[in-house]
Amino acid sequence: MSFMGLVCLIIITIFIPPLGVFIVAGCGADLLINLICTFLGYIPGHFHAFYLIFVYYYRKDQRKKGIPIAADAPLIFSDRVQYGGNPGSYQPYHHGPRY
């Protein structure tokens, strides 16, 4: 995603945090957690959404530079976010299943 794509994603996330999470992580546990956080309070939904976006772009940058990802990021259940975009092309060290 280009710089303008990131800017659009941030603007979308500011107004509707679950939509930003859906764009980055897809439909799964992370989206459900964000919906719950957003309904319990609008600000926790923002924290969770921006945390997912930060981890996604950080891992994507690491993958581009060839830096191995040593461990999974806490509280993220989407493989797409954990591995920076494409989980099929780059798998980090596996330490067992995530629950």
What predicted TM-score, i.e. pTM, was given to this entire model?
0.82
- At 43 the pLDDT is 94
- At 89 the pLDDT is 54
Contacts of 77 (CB under 8 A, 6+ apart): 28, 29, 30, 33, 98
- At 69 the pLDDT is 79
Angle subtended at Cα 57 by Cα 53 and Cα 59, rounded to the nearest 5 degrees: 115
Pairwise CA distance, residues 51 & 91, whole Å: 21
Positions of the chain with pLDDT lower than 70, given as ranges: 1, 86-99
Decide: 71 and 78 in contact? Cβ < 8 Å.
Answer: no
